[in-house]
Structure formats: structure tokens, C-alpha cells
Amino acid sequence: MMTLPILLATPHFVVLNKPAGLAVHPGPADGPSVEDFFPELSRRKDGPWLAHRLDADTSGCLLVALRKAPLLAAQAAFAEGRVVKTYWAVVVGGPEADAGEIRAPIVKRSTAQGWRMETDASGQPAHTSWRVLGRGDGLAWLELTPHTGRTHQIRVHAAHEGWPILGDPLYGRPGEGLHLLARSLQVPVEPPISATAPPPQAMRAALSKCGWS
């Protein structure tokens, strides 16, 4: 059984470097999930718990609380917007400007084929800020900060702007795997949590085209 890389460990929290393709919760397909690895982190009855979520296709920083009290403290920080999350994405095309804001409400749509998130004036407010870190070969390397926590927010906002994330099977063109990394996480608990995830191997070729080294 594989183990998950740990970016940071304290007596109360662990920040995992979640690989792309691994769900955080067990799903109907009965495949592996992050929660399968919890016995390796703690064998106490009062934990561990996921403090937040990442899409299965997204890699990077994932916070796990090892006790109930720290879990509640982290959840409060997320709910109050005090957690700082940054993402790296490689997008197709890219914005003309070097930085900007996206404010586009998001709503969930369900069909017989499944569900997806869409921008719509009737949806919940959603706000993402971004800046360009590099460009090359028809791609752009972006750093994005979500200020709200809507499902698939960064993926939907990027597609809404006309520069979908490379390899996004839902909102762009499938193919090379979703080029989206939960790059860093800062959580104002005691002691404060600060972690940074390295780019996964699957993103490095595209990042290099945009100037990453």
C-alpha cells in the first residue's frame, strides 16, 4: 500500500501532499481515498478528520486534523475566510493582463449525465484573484487565490474567462491530466500552519514551457 507524502506535521495537524487522481472521501466506485490512510496518521478514536477538501483531480496541500478541537479551530478559520490558499494552474491561452480578479457567481447544474458547476447570476458569489507567473507555447502559468470556497471554483472561473485549465475533462479539453496544484496553505491556528507543495511530475513539462525551473 502506498503512503502519502507529508509536507508538515504537528501534534494537532498534518498537511498531506495529495496526488492527483486520489479522492479525499470513499466514493461509489469503491476506489482508494485519502481517508484510507488515516490509520497511518493516528489510531486514536477522536480523529483524524479532513479539515477541508480538494477535487480528486487536484494535487497538493490538504490539511488533516488529528484531534477534534483542532479540527473545529481549522473549520472556523476556513468558514471565516482567514485561511490563505494559493493554487498554481497551467491554462490554455491565458489572460492578456498580468493580474486580475474574477467575480462570477457559480451554481450547480444536474442532468441525466451527471452534474457540473456553471457561472450564473443566480448562483452563489464566487471571487478569485490571479496573476501570471509565466507564459510560453500557447500556455500561461497562473497563481490563483480563491476568496470564496465554491466547488470547482478555480476550474469554472478559468473556463469562464476563456482560458480553461490544461487537461480539464469537465470544463476544458481532457487529455494530459488536470494541471492544477494546491500550491500553498496558511491556516491561522495555534501554532500557525504554513505549507507549500512542489509541482507534481505531470505538471512540470508544461510549467517549464512557461518559464518554471
Residue 198 domain-assigned?
yes
Residue 150 domain-assigned?
yes
Confirm whether 55 is a catalytic residue.
yes
Residue at grid coordinates 466514493 = 27
pLDDT at 29: 67
Do the bridges between strand 59-65 and strand 180-187 make them parallel or antiparallel, or are there none, so unpaired?
Answer: parallel
In angstroms, rounded to a whole number, what is the distance separating the alpha carbons of residues 59 and 45? 28
Residue 1 domain-assigned?
no
Contact (CB, 8 A) for 187 and 63: yes
Residue 66 domain-assigned?
yes
Consecutive sets of 10 residues in the chain, 213 residues long: mean pLDDT of each? 86 96 83 90 84 95 95 96 97 97 96 90 97 98 96 98 96 91 97 97 97 96
Residue 68 domain-assigned?
yes
Residue at grid coordinates 466547488 = 151
Residue 125 domain-assigned?
yes
Residue 62 domain-assigned?
yes
Grid cell listed for 51: 479539515
CB atoms closer than 10 angstroms to residue 209: 16
Q: Of the listed 30, 36, 46, 55, which one is catalytic?
A: 55
Which CATH number does the domain housing residue 204 bear? 3.30.2350.10
Split into its structural domains, the chain has a count of 1
pLDDT at 2: 63
Residue 93 domain-assigned?
yes
Q: 142 is in which domain, residue-wise?
A: 6-209
Grid cell listed for 46: 477522536
What's the pTM? 0.94
